[in-house]
Structure 1
Amino acid sequence: MDQNKKTILKNFSPVKILIPVLLGLGATVWLFIKDDRLNDLKGITEANIWWLLAAVLVLVIRDAGYMYRIRSLTDKFLSWRNSLDVIMLWEFASAITPSVVGGTAIATIILNKEGIPLGKSLAYVMFTAVLDNMFFIVAAPLVLLLTQGEVFPQFDLDPDYVNSLKMAFYISYSLIAIYTFIMIYALFVRPRAFKWLLLKVTSWGFLRRWRVSAFQHGNEIVWASQQLKGNSFNYWARAIISTVFVWSARYFLLNCLIAAFADVSFGEHMLIISRNLIFWIVMLVAITPGGAGIVEMAFPSFFASFLGRFSSIVVVLYRLITYYPYLLLGSVFLPKWVAKVFGRSGLKES
């Protein structure tokens, strides 16, 4: 079997879909049981239906923004239909892999099988990772400055918990920044020097076992760098603007859900967006697929102050809208896509 086909089918196996579902559902049930809040589920009838519909609309707009970005990055090589396949499968891959890993390796294969050369596929995936991370790197200090520390949830009875959240944020932010600046140097400044450094480091002692992987990764960086050279100002501007757009939409979706259950002022809307940014930077180092279980457990700590008894309901709705649909949609899109790019025998082989 084609090695790419093996990788795709292995990573999208039913077991890998079932694990995050069980983790997420388990954490959700525990949230309701531990505080005896099963009766709070009735609170769903008190929701403002227009804000709930707005949340769904924002989700659709966000995905349209992702489609526009990948189509723009590929210089419209991908049609809108193919862009939809790519984004749905990319989100599917992200949903069943740990947040710290993401779906980038699978995304490279997906783009390559859509007819984009491997070097360009690597370039587009690496570039989107840099764009997304740069959004976090630039936005986080801004919200910390504008909110003057209010962005972190406050717990009068447990200041140690607040400090642990702050520590998790600063560690996650530092790791993202270090990784991103290394990638920028490797992709846009001196890719061959980066490849030489990888080979040099893996020539020492026990690190030699990774020398072949380092050589391969170094080549990938050089290929990707070559593909990104020579693009126009408009190309870079579209990439940056679309990235800001999709992440802003991703964050504002939660504002819609919270506003469906609580009266939220303009200032509180800004604080929710800011706190959501900090929340997801912390969640980026989650070790479970799609942050399943961890997101559900940490959510009330960040947003219960806006929601009160509705916090458990909103976290369920939030995951139902932003996470579980991609597991379902991915399962629908995957067989059709595999049949398209590998042939009708693709799903029968093992």
Structure 2
Amino acid sequence: MTTPQQDRQLLDKLSPSRMLLPVVIGLGVVGFMFWRSYKPGDLAGLANAKPLWLFITLLVLLARDFGYMYRIRHIAEKKLSWKQSVDVIMIWEFASCLLPSAVGGTAIASLLLNKEGIPLGKSLAYIMVTAMLDNLYFVVAGPLVWLLAGHHIFPHETLGSGGLVTTLKVAFWVSYVFTMAYSALMAYALFVNPHSVKRFLVRFFSLKGLHRWRRRAYHHGLEMVHASAELRGNGARYWAEAALSTAFVWTARYLVIGCLIAAFINVEWGEFGTIFARNLVYKVVLLIAITPGGAGFAEGAFPMFFRSFAGSDTMTNFILLLYRIVTYYLYLVLGTIFLPRWVGRVFGKQAAREVMAS
């Protein structure tokens, strides 16, 4: 089980007081963008809103969340009830909103599973599976969206053909190669020889200049060894369902922006595919965000990728605001609803009162 110190760190990371900074940054950036771009008549297109596409957006969001709940319950070998799965995903999403994009809710996910009664070793193994499958989706989807969108996957119309777009291309493909290599390493550790991977990590981070991460690499290698032992024996059906549910949730996640744009702007199917493809590059940019939930970075980078599909600057900002409401602020609100109930259930009512007061 987790230690009291780990419990305290978990509750600190989930403190609702952490919401203030990302909300101020995010809404401040959007407000400034509206102030700079707004002209009378820019939002006339709202009168042509397509209810069907708004309904499809809602269905995609619901399907995505259901997919997350199904996936975590399946990967955890049904040790979670549906109610527990709902709580875990809602708190996980809430944590992702409060932590930097590069960290995300994965940093506390194993502790969430542990508090639901799953041994810490198995919790770590299950979260490593989700991380590996998430990375593999990016590895598989990268070449596919390149075939789908070609050079349009990068926003040449806003960045031109100079140094900025070249930098973006390099960042995307460096991220792709790193993710592919790390995914292969994780897969080899989980399915083939975890001890050799642990030794490799320790030796690699023993090189000059990398010593400071040696202890962390050792613990990560140890986690891979334990995860491999915990997951040994799971059959092909287990991995097939885990992979398919991962593909489902990430595909739904990348569909949201296209659905929102199509709700107000006439979008051809080819353009819809390009919007989907650009989401992968957009998410790579957000990995450098140091703010909670990528606040400020997500808003600032959005027009660069999607302005050419949304019409005017003001319509782009409006769609951006809707996008952040349904994929970010909504989960802050849901987090404040689910968090005290979950904390009260696993830590006690006194702890729930202390968290909500912090």
Do Structure 1 and Structure 2 share a fold, with TM-score over 0.5?
yes
Which residue is equivalent to 1:233? 236
Which residue is equivalent to 2:103? 101
Which residue is equivalent to 1:172? 175
Which residue is equivalent to 2:333? 328
**123-132 vs 16-25, which deviates more?**
16-25
Asked if 1:290 is matched to 2:293, the reply is yes
Give the superposition deviation at 1:294.
0.9
Question: Secondary structure of 1:155's match?
Answer: helix
Give the superposition deviation at 1:134.
0.7
CA distance in 2, matches of 1:227, 1:190: 14
Q: Do the aligned residues in 2 keep the contact of 1:140 with 1:278 (CA within 8 Å)?
A: no
Q: Do the aligned residues in 2 keep the contact of 1:69 with 1:239 (CA within 8 Å)?
A: yes
Residues 192, 344 of structure 1: alpha-carbon distance in 2 compared, 3 angstrom cutoff:
same
Asked if 1:111 is matched to 2:113, the reply is yes
**228-237 vs 40-49, which deviates more?**
40-49
Percent identical residues: 51
Residues 124, 202 of structure 1: alpha-carbon distance in 2 compared, 3 angstrom cutoff:
same
Question: Secondary structure of 2:157's match?
Answer: coil
Residues 38, 119 of structure 1: alpha-carbon distance in 2 compared, 3 angstrom cutoff:
farther
**81-90 vs 199-208, which deviates more?**
199-208
Residue type at the aligned position of 2:352: L
Q: Structure 2 unaligned segments of length 5 or more: list them.
A: none
Q: How does 1:312-327 map to 2 (within 5 A)?
A: 312-327=317-332
Which residue is equivalent to 1:339? 344
Give the superposition deviation at 1:346.
2.0
Which residue is equivalent to 2:66? 64
Q: Do the aligned residues in 1 keep the contact of 2:19 with 2:332 (CA within 8 Å)?
A: yes
Q: Do the aligned residues in 2 keep the contact of 1:172 with 1:282 (CA within 8 Å)?
A: no
Which residue is equivalent to 2:220? 217
Q: Do the aligned residues in 2 keep the contact of 1:99 with 1:291 (CA within 8 Å)?
A: yes
Give the superposition deviation at 1:327.
1.1
Q: 2:266 aligns with which of 232, 248, 263?
A: 263
**7-16 vs 229-238, which deviates more?**
7-16
Q: 2:21 aligns with which of 19, 23, 28?
A: 19
Residues 16, 185 of structure 1: alpha-carbon distance in 2 compared, 3 angstrom cutoff:
farther
**94-103 vs 39-48, which deviates more?**
39-48
CA distance in 1, matches of 2:167, 2:36: 22
Give the superposition deviation at 1:116.
0.8
Q: Do the aligned residues in 2 keep the contact of 1:188 with 1:225 (CA within 8 Å)?
A: yes
Which residue is equivalent to 2:5? 3
Q: How does 1:115-264 map to 2 (within 5 A)?
A: 115-155=117-157, 158-160=160-162, 161-201=164-204, 210-264=213-267
CA distance in 1, matches of 2:137, 2:266: 29
Question: Secondary structure of 1:149's match?
Answer: helix
Aligned pairs, how many?
Answer: 350
Give the superposition deviation at 1:47.
2.0
Could you give the per-residue CA deviations for residues 87-142 of structure 1, whole angstroms, max 9, x where no partner exists? 11111111111111121121000001101111111111111011111111111111
Residues 195, 38 of structure 1: alpha-carbon distance in 2 compared, 3 angstrom cutoff:
farther
CA distance in 2, matches of 1:297, 1:312: 10
Q: State the TM-score, normalized to the length of structure 2.
A: 0.90
CA distance in 2, matches of 1:45, 1:296: 24
Give the superposition deviation at 1:219.
2.3
Give the superposition deviation at 1:248.
1.2
Residue type at the aligned position of 2:96: S
Could you give the per-residue CA deviations for residues 52-108 of structure 1, whole angstroms, max 9, x where no partner exists? 122122101110011111111112111111100011111111111111112112100
CA distance in 2, matches of 1:83, 1:113: 12
Q: Alignment RMSD, CA only?
A: 2.3
Q: State the TM-score, normalized to the length of structure 1.
A: 0.92
CA distance in 2, matches of 1:140, 1:37: 38
Asked if 1:49 is matched to 2:51, the reply is yes
Residues 347, 142 of structure 1: alpha-carbon distance in 2 compared, 3 angstrom cutoff:
same
Q: Structure 1 unaligned segments of length 5 or more: list them.
A: none
Q: Do the aligned residues in 1 keep the contact of 2:159 with 2:304 (CA within 8 Å)?
A: no
Residue type at the aligned position of 1:93: A
**Runs of 4+ with deviation above 6 angstroms:** none
CA distance in 2, matches of 1:40, 1:163: 32
Which residue is equivalent to 2:80? 78
